[in-house]
Amino acid sequence: MDINKIRQDFPYYSSSTSKKPQIYLDTACQSLRPQVVIDAINQYYVIEPACGGRSNHHLSAAVSHRVDQVRETTAKFFHASRKEEIIFTRNTTEGINLVANSLGLKSGDTIVISDKEHNSNLIPWQMLVKREGVQLKVVPSLPDNTFDLAAFEKILAGGVRLVSIGMTSNLDGVTVPAAEITKLAHKHGALVLFDAAQAAPHRQIDVKALDIDFLALSGHKMLGPSGIGILYGKLALLEKMSPFLVGGDTVASSTYESCEFLPVPEKYEAGLQDYAGIYGMGAALDYMKKVGFDFIQKQETSLNEYITREIADLSGLKILGPADPKIRGGIVNFTIDGIDSHRVALMLDQMAGVMVRSGQHCVHSWFNSRQIKGSVRASTYFYNTQEEAAIFIENLKKIRKVL
């Protein structure tokens, strides 16, 4: 595919009035959006600005139909068995919280996570430890930050109710062996939830082939609007669970004493939905399918290899995660001895319009356990170019000389 033509799909690249380059290397935080996503959002607000599923007029019917279409599109994108297994949420965080608070976890149950979890897949379980008395166990990574299957299976042997693992780490871009994790977990009677916030934008996920029980992800990291997310769950599990957020649109009827909940997925989608976000999410998935994961991964790997090679000789620089850039996807996260990560990020922005993220990246637990104050994370996507990477490298070298 022609990268220049792809970039024409993104208004950001033609809208800036700044004279200096605007190099966005922060997609692991949030991706840019193509025009088709913006058009889909506008379709709701301009053409079909009504409530879905509530009123008996043509605008309401149009919204309901579009929401149903996007649910079907999402189910096919992730190879779910049925569209009812797709629940619209605000983001990955809400999806994980929904499972945490709806699965009926109690004292005596054990939840297993990795040592590189985003706060979204750590804090909900810590709250259950305090509130319900569940146990939380952490699988330590191998020295190169890859997943330790042997340590994982050893923990499983002690009895586990739920495994909740980030499929791809926002810390270093490493993707865990999802098929092996699920197989081992099910062998020991545990359910599996994957945080796919960083995986879904970069690789095909087949929930049926992987036999995943739950999958949570966010639209804003995969070309979609902010404030829209997806939770996939096996229908049999969703039907047994109790809803977390309740109220309008979750019930078929109510009295002063009781209520009758709607079937899945409606019983989990409380209140007025983000219809514009759902419209945009559908457009984002269609666009990603057109681009294709082969191209996405090829572009990311090429850029990571180039950046890794060119910064390897910078004194005091250490890349977090495996040495092989092919294992780190689009993420190059590093520290430089004696230099504050925020200062590096600020200088890159001010000197050359290079936008990266600095700090502890919502993985405070990993950094604090290793007494690391923070790091600089450059994260590429298929719309980034080698020319942009070269400007990043050039200015990083300048900063290293100065500091």
Tell me which long-range contacts 238-243 makes (C-beta under 8 A, separation of at least 24).
238/84, 238/85, 238/87, 238/264, 238/265, 238/268, 239/263, 239/264, 241/99, 241/102, 241/103, 241/104, 242/102, 242/104, 243/102, 243/267, 243/268, 243/270
Q: What is the rounded CA–CA span in Å between residue 216 and residue 12?
A: 28
Which DSSP symbol is given to 44? I
Which DSSP symbol is given to 177? -
Dihedrals φ, ψ of 75, to 5°? Answer: -60, -45
Residue 215 near residue 205 (C-beta atoms within 8 A)? yes
Dihedrals φ, ψ of 326, to 5°? Answer: -60, -25
Strand 229-233 and strand 214-218: the pairing is antiparallel
Instruction: Point out the catalytic residue in the list 29, 51, 259, 362.
Output: 362
**DSSP of 52-111, one letter per residue?**
SSS-SSHHHHHHHHHHHHHHHHHHHHTT-S-GGGEEEESSHHHHHHHHHHHS---TT-EE
Residue 191 near residue 161 (C-beta atoms within 8 A)? yes
Tokens of 298: 């090829």
The residue type of 166 is G
Q: What is the rounded CA–CA span in Å between residue 59 and residue 50?
A: 6
Dihedrals φ, ψ of 301, to 5°? Answer: -65, -45
Scan for tokens 């739920």, then name that residue.
162
Active-site residue, 51 included: no
Q: Which helix (H) or strand (E) holds 334?
A: strand 331-336
Mind telling me the catalytic residues?
362
